[in-house]
Chains A and B, each alone.
Chain A
Amino acid sequence: MLTLVNSPSPDQQNMARDLTEVFYRQMYTIRKVEQNLLDLFAQGYITGTVHTSMGQEACDVGVVNSLDRSKDIIFSNHRAHGQFLAYCDDVEGLIGEIMGKETGVCLGIGGSQHIHRENMYTNGVQGGIVPNAVGAALAEKIKGTGAITVVFLGDGTMGEGVVYESFNIASLWSLPVLFLLIDNGIAQSTPKHLEHAGELETRAMTFAIDSASIEADDVNKVYSTACEVVNKVREHSRPFFLHVKAARLGPHSKGDDTRSKEEIESLKQKDPLLKISESLPVGLRMEIEQKIDVRIQTAVEKAMLASHPGLEQLRRV
């Protein structure tokens, strides 16, 4: 396993300080949007399901910001709100979508788990997006665009066979794809030790895919590692497997958490939002939070007033 040493130069340190504010904005936006979504669900304004990214914001923000948004491609899964907001900051589009309104980024047809904007695609079935991401990486390699593809996986997804087929092909054909495993240690209600034999960190190594493992409590750390990894993937046109240990602070979806209060309280000690907030002056932080609160409130109000999509907006055959 590669050791990725986080030793930023002074220039990078300055840049990182500037980035902290950007990262905080994004992470706070994600947290607040997710909290609003859970509230809206509880109030009956959202149907279906909502898988929140609470606790995983450092991973979503750190990884997505390491990409070249003009060309890189993201595939993600059922828990993709955080990555989506980090990618395009479309608060209105996301809230509208999840509320099933035509102002949603996919007209309310896709909902929480099926979102697409520009080069980001999500789908709700575990594992299936992985060969799609490998195919996208192959397409971009053939086209010579220099784009890389990142695909977000969860620890639960590592039970799907197609993931390993995709590891094999990505390595065999030297494709520029980053397999990004967010390991929150629990799949819906089932803890990792009831699902997986052996370690997840080393799963891709047998396919000759370089791998690394980091914690997701510090966004700056995730970001610098992700930048290094993304550069490697792009430069060498090789796959990479990055295992990120994260805490799922919220339920799997809506309110279905079966973990003990003590366990969740202990996870909250690792809350990446708390960590980054401590590095910002209180005044600045309050100012940022206030603006974002207003922005989200406005987006919710707009979605409330918006219409639902009509049958004519569905494609047929």
Chain B
Amino acid sequence: MEKDPNAILLGEDILDPYGGAFKVTKGLSTKFPQRVFTTPISEASIAGLTVGMALRGMRPIAEFMFGDFITLAADQIVNHAAKYMGMYGDQMKLPMVLRTPVGGGRGYGPTHSQSLEKMFLGLPMFHILAPSHFVHPGEILVQAISGSYPTLFLENKLLYPEVLKLEQHSGVINRTVHFDEHNYPVVVLSNFPDKRKADIAIVAYGGISRLLGPVLNQLAQEEIWITACLPVSLSPLPIKHIQATTEGIKKILVIEEASPAFGWGSEVSAALYDAHAGQLDGPILRIGAANSVIPASKPLEEKVIVSEEKILSAVFEVMAW
């Protein structure tokens, strides 16, 4: 907001001293009082306003208090944001970002814990990004709002308190970064030092990154070698970069926070089957949340959403093939 006077922020309860339900916008309304707008509880219009502002050359960023509320803006996303760039036969840019916290693990219950991105994946002219703590989310947000496309920017709630892990080597974990066609990072992690091929490739995104650090550490102790690929861009899918990472690895595990049916992991798996036909040891295993509501009861919620234990047991299942 310092660099670009056209950057406008709007959302519910984002003004100081509250600074947003997750405090992401704290301080901004004090620093930029003319460019930070607290809105009524009107998600469809919040999204609609960002579209209108972007059409007129501004670079608006809207906060949705919970990712679950994005359904209220579905018409704006599908029939407005994603259409204006494509349906007028011109080269219009529509830089706007809808930021929102997603995911479970905090006991918020069925309508405040979901990861609903699958509803909008694959929509032409609409980007969906999910940073992890292995990239700098602020830099990616700036990149998105400085770009051309309407973008949904997913912030996993449990990543907020995490420390960024941007170093090349951290214990046994090595981190390298590639960049996709839109210049968004595709992070590749491995838990082994040399150039051998991993036993298993894991493909995941967003908040799953929080679980991967401990999982990769533990698996290194058991000499199970993992290469994990974490693209920031979920849609469009940087499938060439994912395929390059998984190439030559015989076993593949795809993890997402949402329930896996009809989801991101299905698309990734289909594309990887196409790329690696006949080269895999067994089927690609997909895991995610149970296909149920996300319960409020914390112990039950832990059984429903993806956990370190579930990832480990999936790894052992794949290793047994």
Contact stretch, chosen from B81-89, B100-108, B270-278, B301-309? B81-89
Which residues of B lie under 8 Å from residue A131 when comparing CB positions?
Answer: 44-45, 47-49, 51-52, 76
B44 touches A135 (CB 8 A): no
A116 touches B40 (CB 8 A): no
B195 sits at the interface (CB 8 A) = no
A140 touches B89 (CB 8 A): no
A135 touches B56 (CB 8 A): yes
- Residue in A128, A134, A165 whose CB lies within 8 Å of B79: A128
| B: interface residue count bin | 35 or more
Residue of B nearest to A130 (CB): B48
Which residues of A lie under 8 Å from residue B48 when comparing CB positions?
Answer: 128, 130-132, 134-135, 162, 166
A7 to B89, CA, bound (A): 44
- Nearest chain A CB to B226's CB is how many angstroms away? 30
1/0 contact trace for A107-129 toward B, CB 8 Å? Answer: 11110001110000101110111
B53 sits at the interface (CB 8 A) = yes
Residue of A nearest to B149 (CB): A317
Which residues of B lie under 8 Å from residue A115 when comparing CB positions?
Answer: 88
A98 sits at the interface (CB 8 A) = no
Most central of B49, B50, B85 by chain A CB within 10 Å: B49
Residue of B nearest to A172 (CB): B40
A127 to B47, CA, bound (A): 13
Which residues of B lie under 8 Å from residue A130 when comparing CB positions?
Answer: 48
Which residues of A lie under 8 Å from residue B54 when comparing CB positions?
Answer: 135
Q: Which residues of B70-93 are within 8 A (CB) of A? A: 75-76, 79-80, 83-92
A161 touches B44 (CB 8 A): yes
Which residues of A lie under 8 Å from residue B86 when comparing CB positions?
Answer: 109, 314-315
A161 to B40, CA, bound (A): 14
Residue of A nearest to B91 (CB): A315
Residue of B nearest to A119 (CB): B56
Which residues of A lie under 8 Å from residue B88 when comparing CB positions?
Answer: 106, 109-110, 114-116
User: What total of A-B pairs shows CB separation below 8 Å?
Assistant: 128
- Nearest chain B CB to A151's CB is how many angstroms away? 10
A266 to B34, CA, bound (A): 53
- Nearest chain A CB to B156's CB is how many angstroms away? 24
B58 sits at the interface (CB 8 A) = yes
A135 touches B52 (CB 8 A): yes
Which residues of B lie under 8 Å from residue A139 when comparing CB positions?
Answer: 52-53, 55-58
B45 touches A110 (CB 8 A): no
A135 touches B87 (CB 8 A): no
- Residue in A137, A142, A315 whose CB lies within 8 Å of B85: A315
B89 touches A138 (CB 8 A): no
- Nearest chain B CB to A306's CB is how many angstroms away? 13
What would 17 more interface pairs be, CB under 8 Å, given A110-B87, A132-B48, A138-B8? Answer: A73-B56, A104-B89, A105-B89, A109-B86, A110-B89, A114-B83, A114-B88, A116-B88, A128-B80, A129-B80, A131-B49, A131-B76, A132-B49, A139-B58, A168-B40, A313-B89, A316-B124
Where the two chains meet, the residues of B that have a C-beta atom closer than 8 Å to any C-beta of A are 8, 34-35, 37, 39-40, 42, 44-45, 47-58, 60, 75-76, 79-80, 83-92, 124-125, 236
A–B Cβ pairs within 8 angstroms, 13 of them? A104-B89, A109-B86, A114-B88, A116-B84, A127-B75, A129-B80, A132-B52, A134-B45, A135-B51, A139-B58, A162-B45, A165-B45, A169-B40
Considering the complex of A and B, which 7 residue pairs feature the smallest CB-CB distances, nearest first?
A: A135-B52, A131-B48, A107-B89, A135-B49, A139-B56, A132-B52, A165-B42
